[in-house]
Amino acid sequence: MSSLGDEKIKILVGEPSMSAGDEEVEIVVDCMVKKVKKFHERLIKHDEPVICRIPDEIRGNHGSAYEPNYIKIGPYNGGRVNLGQPDMEEIKLQYLINLCKRSIDGDNPEIEDILKIYITAVQKLELNARRRYPDLSFEMSSSDFVQMLVVDGCFIVELFFNSLEMRDSDDRIISKTFEGIPELFKFRNIRALCRDLLLFENQIPFFILKEIYSKTKFRIEDPPNLSLVDLAVHFLYMTDNITQKVLPEEYRRDEEPIEIHHLLHLSHLCLVNQLYVPEDSHIREAKTLLDHLFIMIGKFIKAIFKYSKFILLTTMSFWFNVFMIWKWPFWKHFRLTDVPPDDELRDKIMSIPTAMQLNEAGVSLRKKITSKCYIHVTFEDGIMEIPNIPIDDYTSSEYRNLLALEQSWETYGDQFKSYVWFMGKLINTTDDVALLMESKIIDNNLGSAEDIVKFYKEIGIGLQFIPLHHSRNLYWAILFVKINTYCEKTYNKWRAKLKRDYLTTPWSVISLLAALLLIGLVAVQTVYSIIGFQVGNNTL
């Protein structure tokens, strides 16, 4: 029975006569049938392309940031890698052979037998893998496409094994990891490898890596029971047990709540996983602050009952005036509502002060120690904690490819884009950079402070932050509201100015304490004079 496509071809071409040359007609028909089938395959694909070409409008003048320097992975970037040294494809083949040797057991199978297992397993996933790429992958034959997936996949899995086996005591990959790699490549650190493996166009589907890993009999014994996700995260971050810190427990059990599309997607998940807003967390915080406030006021009232009625009345009068004058701005801070999408809060969300302006408003900028995710920024009680940010020649490529990932599919969200937007607002001048470097937040391995300012201005071109009506941005929306609300309070600015102008040295602190002591003595003397005067009048 002929297919629908074959019937359409026959209608269009017609029934050729025997004299017209049956062989020539059959060649034309076969060619058109293949084109129809390929087009039909693209129509029925059920997933959005997750590995696609980066448009020229996103590349701009920074095309090199999206291109590999050493390792070409996947069907893209053909002919772009030029090391000026032996072909990296030969190194990939060597890693493939090394991975095959790991599966050789007592039955004495040959390397060819192990390789056949890999090829057979990947062939079953070929159609699904093709659906992860747009048109370019369909220009490759089935043989070339499967061969590419097997070679690249085995290279990456073997690299993961190598990186874990060849660690020194400082948990860094030693030179044996790069055995067989050209001499020039040995002088590059591991970040050069990670940089190429985390390019948006330089990816193969993660399920290909999982399939190859599942067919490999070898397993790391110490630590035991490592999944492919564990190996990948270790390679990307060079730290033991980091999977428990950056990914949910389901990933460690290979129960992926969200499918990992490729290595860049995995890196993105590691970054944004810690940016979550627990339900009613802001309400619990407000209630806790109110409880503490009432407890403190109660203790204060009990304490002053021990003294004279004059002091009690004076204190009660003082607090009455404080609450009458400041009650609305004060209680507004503890409003038990979520962040509403209205015009009142829009300005607080769409703009934040620079680092220097935050410092002048009394905000303390500190390096966050506990977080392994460098975009995990927090703000509480006037203290903004930002994890350390090393900026070097690879940072631009890392940022741009993560931004390209988020712009390629709505499902990826825009948490990283929000972080880049935040840092771009935080850094406007070299003074901002100097303050962040002084706080150990930024490690400048790029050059001068001007280079850092230029970097964030260029990386932020075209970025738009729209946190409202988007639950994934609620983390950043709440953070920005907290920052702006704190900076708007005059009291915080006065306190910061007092600390900056009068409490910078021990001598200024001593002078201020002496002045306060003198004022206190004068006040006490005045009170006793008034009391003495009243007592004298009463005796008269």
Which residues are bridge partners to 136 per DSSP? none
| Rounded CA separation 309/316 (Å) | 10
Q: Do both 325 and 343 map to the same domain?
A: no
200 domain-assigned: yes
Residue ranges with strand state E in 42-180 = none
| Rounded CA separation 272/37 (Å) | 40
Q: Do both 104 and 210 map to the same domain?
A: yes
Per-residue confidence (pLDDT) for residue 463, from 0 to 100: 75
Average pLDDT over residues 117-139: 86
DSSP one-letter code for 177: G
Band (pLDDT 50/70/90 cuts) for residue 437 is very high
Spatial strand order in the sheet of 364-368: 364-368, 383-387, 378-380
Per-residue confidence (pLDDT) for residue 341, from 0 to 100: 46
Q: Do both 357 and 476 map to the same domain?
A: yes
Q: Which residue segment(s) compose the domain that 74 sits in?
A: 58-272
Per-residue confidence (pLDDT) for residue 88, from 0 to 100: 80
| Rounded CA separation 85/183 (Å) | 9
**Per-residue pLDDT tens over the stretch 455-491:** 999 998 877 666 554 555 678 888 888 898 888 887 7
Band (pLDDT 50/70/90 cuts) for residue 507 is low
247 domain-assigned: yes
Q: Which of 337, 357, 380 is the last residue of a domain?
A: 337
Position 12 pLDDT exceeds 90: no
Q: By mean pLDDT, which of 44-53, 269-278, 330-339 is the weakest? A: 330-339
Number of domains in the chain: 5
CA-based max dimension of the chain = 144
Q: Which of 272, 292, 316 is the last residue of a domain?
A: 272
357 domain-assigned: yes
C-alpha distances out from residue 400 to 55, 66, 314, 372, 393, Å: 13, 8, 62, 21, 13
Per-residue confidence (pLDDT) for residue 270, from 0 to 100: 86
What pTM does this model have?
Answer: 0.73
Q: Do both 63 and 137 map to the same domain?
A: yes
Per-residue confidence (pLDDT) for residue 521, from 0 to 100: 76
50 domain-assigned: no
- Pinpoint the alpha helices (H) of 339-473: 343-350, 355-360, 395-408, 415-426, 430-438, 449-459
Q: By mean pLDDT, which of 225-229, 394-398, 452-456 is the weakest? A: 225-229
Cα angle: 293, vertex 296, 299; to 5 degrees? 150
Cβ atoms within 10 A of the Cβ of 89, count? 14
Share of the chain above pLDDT 70, in %: 59
Q: Do both 391 and 489 map to the same domain?
A: yes
Position 258 pLDDT exceeds 60: yes
Q: Do both 75 and 192 map to the same domain?
A: yes
Band (pLDDT 50/70/90 cuts) for residue 187 is very low
Q: Which of 244, 272, 300 is the last residue of a domain?
A: 272
Per-residue confidence (pLDDT) for residue 76, from 0 to 100: 86
52 domain-assigned: no
Q: Do both 356 and 449 map to the same domain?
A: yes
51 domain-assigned: no
Per-residue confidence (pLDDT) for residue 8, from 0 to 100: 40
| Rounded CA separation 396/481 (Å) | 29
Indicate left, alpha or beta for 523 from its phi (over 0: left) and psi (-120 to 50: alpha).
Answer: alpha
Mean confidence (pLDDT) of the chain: 74
**Per-residue pLDDT tens over the stretch 351-374:** 889 999 999 888 999 999 877 688
Q: Do both 361 and 401 map to the same domain?
A: yes
Q: Do both 171 and 245 map to the same domain?
A: yes
Structure tokens at 200: 């948006």
| Rounded CA separation 51/56 (Å) | 16
Per-residue confidence (pLDDT) for residue 226, from 0 to 100: 83
Band (pLDDT 50/70/90 cuts) for residue 334 is very low
Per-residue confidence (pLDDT) for residue 338, from 0 to 100: 41
Band (pLDDT 50/70/90 cuts) for residue 496 is low
Q: Do both 344 and 333 map to the same domain?
A: no
**Per-residue pLDDT tens over the stretch 449-459:** 999 999 999 99
Q: Do both 483 and 510 map to the same domain?
A: no
Share of the chain above pLDDT 90, in %: 30
Amino acid at residue number 468: L
Q: Do both 331 and 365 map to the same domain?
A: no
**Per-residue pLDDT tens over the stretch 91-122:** 899 899 999 998 887 666 788 999 999 999 99
